[in-house]
Structure 1
Amino acid sequence: MEVKPSFQEIIQSETPVLVDFYADWCGPCQAMTPVITDFSSEMGELVKVIKINVDTNPAVASTFNVRGIPTFIVFKNGEAVSRQSGMMPVAALRSMVEPHLVK
Protein backbone atom coordinates (compact mmCIF):
# COMPACT_ATOMS: atom_id res chain seq x y z
CA MET A 1 0.00 0.00 0.00
CA GLU A 2 1.37 3.39 -0.99
CA VAL A 3 1.56 5.97 1.77
CA LYS A 4 0.63 9.45 0.63
CA PRO A 5 3.15 12.08 1.67
CA SER A 6 1.83 14.63 4.14
CA PHE A 7 1.27 18.22 3.13
CA GLN A 8 4.28 19.24 5.26
CA GLU A 9 6.48 16.69 3.45
CA ILE A 10 5.37 17.99 0.05
CA ILE A 11 6.07 21.66 0.80
CA GLN A 12 9.54 20.95 2.28
CA SER A 13 10.80 20.74 -1.29
CA GLU A 14 13.57 22.92 -2.70
CA THR A 15 11.49 22.86 -5.89
CA PRO A 16 8.74 25.49 -5.56
CA VAL A 17 5.31 24.06 -4.81
CA LEU A 18 2.24 25.95 -6.03
CA VAL A 19 -0.73 25.06 -3.85
CA ASP A 20 -4.20 25.76 -5.22
CA PHE A 21 -6.70 26.04 -2.36
CA TYR A 22 -10.14 25.43 -3.88
CA ALA A 23 -13.61 23.97 -3.35
CA ASP A 24 -15.76 21.94 -5.74
CA TRP A 25 -18.69 24.36 -5.40
CA CYS A 26 -16.55 27.44 -6.21
CA GLY A 27 -17.17 28.75 -9.74
CA PRO A 28 -13.93 30.77 -10.01
CA CYS A 29 -12.01 27.72 -8.72
CA GLN A 30 -13.50 25.58 -11.49
CA ALA A 31 -12.67 28.28 -14.04
CA MET A 32 -9.02 28.16 -12.90
CA THR A 33 -8.69 24.40 -13.54
CA PRO A 34 -7.61 24.72 -17.21
CA VAL A 35 -5.29 27.61 -16.29
CA ILE A 36 -3.62 25.47 -13.62
CA THR A 37 -3.36 22.58 -16.08
CA ASP A 38 -1.71 24.83 -18.69
CA PHE A 39 0.65 26.31 -16.07
CA SER A 40 1.63 22.86 -14.79
CA SER A 41 2.38 21.49 -18.26
CA GLU A 42 4.30 24.66 -19.21
CA MET A 43 6.47 24.58 -16.06
CA GLY A 44 7.03 20.82 -16.07
CA GLU A 45 9.50 19.59 -13.46
CA LEU A 46 10.44 23.13 -12.39
CA VAL A 47 7.36 23.44 -10.16
CA LYS A 48 5.17 21.00 -8.24
CA VAL A 49 1.46 21.84 -8.40
CA ILE A 50 -1.01 20.46 -5.87
CA LYS A 51 -4.65 21.18 -5.19
CA ILE A 52 -6.07 21.31 -1.67
CA ASN A 53 -9.85 21.12 -1.24
CA VAL A 54 -10.66 23.45 1.67
CA ASP A 55 -13.83 21.49 2.48
CA THR A 56 -11.99 18.19 2.95
CA ASN A 57 -8.80 19.75 4.40
CA PRO A 58 -10.02 22.59 6.65
CA ALA A 59 -7.05 22.29 9.03
CA VAL A 60 -4.54 22.95 6.23
CA ALA A 61 -6.58 25.91 4.95
CA SER A 62 -6.84 27.29 8.49
CA THR A 63 -3.12 26.84 9.16
CA PHE A 64 -2.32 29.09 6.19
CA ASN A 65 -5.13 31.55 6.92
CA VAL A 66 -6.97 30.84 3.66
CA ARG A 67 -10.15 32.93 3.88
CA GLY A 68 -11.17 33.20 0.22
CA ILE A 69 -10.85 30.83 -2.68
CA PRO A 70 -9.21 30.29 -5.00
CA THR A 71 -6.03 31.13 -3.10
CA PHE A 72 -2.62 30.25 -4.49
CA ILE A 73 0.41 29.94 -2.21
CA VAL A 74 3.94 29.16 -3.39
CA PHE A 75 6.04 27.20 -0.89
CA LYS A 76 9.78 26.64 -0.99
CA ASN A 77 11.65 24.68 1.68
CA GLY A 78 8.49 24.65 3.79
CA GLU A 79 8.04 28.43 3.76
CA ALA A 80 5.22 30.36 2.08
CA VAL A 81 7.11 32.70 -0.27
CA SER A 82 4.28 34.09 -2.39
CA ARG A 83 0.51 34.29 -2.09
CA GLN A 84 -2.39 35.57 -4.17
CA SER A 85 -6.14 35.05 -4.22
CA GLY A 86 -8.63 35.16 -7.06
CA MET A 87 -8.64 34.21 -10.70
CA MET A 88 -5.51 34.96 -12.70
CA PRO A 89 -3.88 34.09 -16.02
CA VAL A 90 -0.96 31.70 -16.48
CA ALA A 91 1.43 34.68 -16.68
CA ALA A 92 0.47 35.81 -13.16
CA LEU A 93 1.04 32.31 -11.78
CA ARG A 94 4.39 32.21 -13.56
CA SER A 95 5.41 35.57 -12.03
CA MET A 96 4.54 34.23 -8.55
CA VAL A 97 6.81 31.21 -9.03
CA GLU A 98 9.72 32.38 -11.20
CA PRO A 99 11.68 34.23 -8.47
CA HIS A 100 11.76 30.99 -6.47
CA LEU A 101 12.88 28.54 -9.17
CA VAL A 102 15.95 26.45 -8.45
CA LYS A 103 18.74 27.85 -10.58
Structure 2
Amino acid sequence: MIEHVTDSNFADVVEKSSELVLVDFWASWCGPCKMLGPIFEEVSGEVAGVTFAKLNVDENPSTAARYRVGSIPTVLAIKNGRVVDTMVGFKPKAEIKKFVERNR
Protein backbone atom coordinates (compact mmCIF):
# COMPACT_ATOMS: atom_id res chain seq x y z
CA MET A 1 0.00 0.00 0.00
CA ILE A 2 1.21 3.47 -0.87
CA GLU A 3 0.79 6.45 1.47
CA HIS A 4 0.16 9.70 -0.38
CA VAL A 5 1.99 12.36 1.60
CA THR A 6 1.78 16.13 1.43
CA ASP A 7 3.62 19.11 2.86
CA SER A 8 1.16 19.07 5.78
CA ASN A 9 1.39 15.38 6.77
CA PHE A 10 4.98 14.55 5.74
CA ALA A 11 6.39 14.95 9.25
CA ASP A 12 3.77 12.67 10.82
CA VAL A 13 3.87 9.94 8.17
CA VAL A 14 7.56 9.97 7.23
CA GLU A 15 9.81 11.80 9.68
CA LYS A 16 8.22 10.41 12.85
CA SER A 17 8.10 6.82 11.60
CA SER A 18 10.30 4.31 13.39
CA GLU A 19 10.46 2.05 10.33
CA LEU A 20 12.12 2.62 6.99
CA VAL A 21 10.09 4.90 4.71
CA LEU A 22 10.72 5.11 0.97
CA VAL A 23 9.39 8.33 -0.50
CA ASP A 24 8.91 8.65 -4.26
CA PHE A 25 9.09 12.32 -5.28
CA TRP A 26 7.22 12.56 -8.60
CA ALA A 27 5.06 14.71 -10.91
CA SER A 28 2.20 13.85 -13.25
CA TRP A 29 4.02 15.24 -16.32
CA CYS A 30 7.19 13.19 -15.72
CA GLY A 31 7.58 10.20 -18.07
CA PRO A 32 10.10 8.27 -15.95
CA CYS A 33 7.86 8.89 -12.90
CA LYS A 34 4.94 7.28 -14.72
CA MET A 35 7.14 4.27 -15.50
CA LEU A 36 8.38 3.98 -11.91
CA GLY A 37 4.95 4.37 -10.25
CA PRO A 38 3.51 0.90 -10.98
CA ILE A 39 6.79 -0.82 -10.09
CA PHE A 40 7.03 1.13 -6.81
CA GLU A 41 3.46 0.09 -6.01
CA GLU A 42 4.16 -3.55 -6.89
CA VAL A 43 7.23 -3.66 -4.63
CA SER A 44 5.23 -2.06 -1.81
CA GLY A 45 2.91 -5.06 -1.88
CA GLU A 46 5.80 -7.51 -1.70
CA VAL A 47 7.86 -5.99 1.12
CA ALA A 48 6.80 -5.99 4.77
CA GLY A 49 8.03 -3.65 7.48
CA VAL A 50 8.66 -0.72 5.13
CA THR A 51 6.36 2.22 4.42
CA PHE A 52 6.09 3.31 0.80
CA ALA A 53 5.02 6.91 0.18
CA LYS A 54 4.59 9.21 -2.81
CA LEU A 55 4.84 13.00 -2.83
CA ASN A 56 3.75 15.07 -5.83
CA VAL A 57 6.40 17.80 -6.12
CA ASP A 58 4.11 20.19 -8.03
CA GLU A 59 1.46 20.07 -5.30
CA ASN A 60 3.94 19.96 -2.39
CA PRO A 61 6.93 22.14 -3.29
CA SER A 62 7.98 22.93 0.28
CA THR A 63 8.92 19.37 1.20
CA ALA A 64 10.63 18.77 -2.16
CA ALA A 65 12.68 21.95 -1.65
CA ARG A 66 13.52 21.08 1.96
CA TYR A 67 14.92 17.72 0.83
CA ARG A 68 16.68 19.38 -2.14
CA VAL A 69 14.98 17.19 -4.72
CA GLY A 70 16.30 18.56 -8.00
CA SER A 71 15.44 15.69 -10.37
CA ILE A 72 12.47 13.38 -10.49
CA PRO A 73 11.75 10.66 -9.89
CA THR A 74 13.81 10.65 -6.72
CA VAL A 75 13.26 8.02 -4.04
CA LEU A 76 14.57 8.84 -0.58
CA ALA A 77 15.11 6.16 2.06
CA ILE A 78 14.32 7.80 5.41
CA LYS A 79 14.88 6.19 8.81
CA ASN A 80 14.08 7.92 12.08
CA GLY A 81 13.63 11.23 10.25
CA ARG A 82 17.01 11.10 8.47
CA VAL A 83 17.75 10.44 4.81
CA VAL A 84 19.96 7.33 4.66
CA ASP A 85 20.02 6.77 0.90
CA THR A 86 18.87 8.29 -2.39
CA MET A 87 17.91 6.79 -5.74
CA VAL A 88 17.45 9.15 -8.71
CA GLY A 89 15.79 8.26 -12.00
CA PHE A 90 13.85 5.28 -13.23
CA LYS A 91 15.09 1.92 -11.97
CA PRO A 92 13.82 -1.60 -12.72
CA LYS A 93 12.06 -3.64 -10.06
CA ALA A 94 15.16 -5.66 -9.11
CA GLU A 95 17.13 -2.48 -8.36
CA ILE A 96 14.30 -1.05 -6.26
CA LYS A 97 14.19 -4.26 -4.22
CA LYS A 98 17.98 -4.09 -3.72
CA PHE A 99 17.60 -0.46 -2.63
CA VAL A 100 15.03 -1.54 -0.02
CA GLU A 101 17.15 -4.41 1.31
CA ARG A 102 20.29 -2.26 1.45
CA ASN A 103 18.50 0.26 3.70
CA ARG A 104 16.58 -1.99 6.10
Whether the aligned pair in 1 keeps the contact of 2:85 and 2:103 (CA below 8 Å) is: no
Runs of 4+ residues over 3 Å off in structure 1: none
User: For residue 31 of structure 1, what is the aligned residue in structure 2?
Assistant: 35
User: For residue 6 of structure 1, what is the aligned residue in structure 2?
Assistant: 9
- Of Structure 1 and Structure 2, which has the larger fraction of its residues in strand? 2
Q: 2: distance between equivalents of 1:14 and 1:99? A: 17
User: For residue 63 of structure 1, what is the aligned residue in structure 2?
Assistant: 66
User: For residue 19 of structure 2, what is the aligned residue in structure 1?
Assistant: 15
Does the residue aligned with 2:69 lie in a helix, a strand or coil?
Answer: coil
Q: How many residues align?
A: 97
Seq. identity, % = 38
User: For residue 76 of structure 2, what is the aligned residue in structure 1?
Assistant: 73
Q: Tell me, which stretches of 5 or more residues in structure 2 are unaligned?
A: 1-5
Q: Tell me, which stretches of 5 or more residues in structure 1 are unaligned?
A: none
Q: Does 1:48 align with 2:51?
A: yes
TM-score, structure 1 normalization: 0.86
| Larger Rg over CA atoms | 1
How large is the RMSD of aligned CA atoms in angstroms? 1.6
* AA matched with 1:84: M
Does the residue aligned with 2:43 lie in a helix, a strand or coil?
Answer: helix
* AA matched with 1:36: F
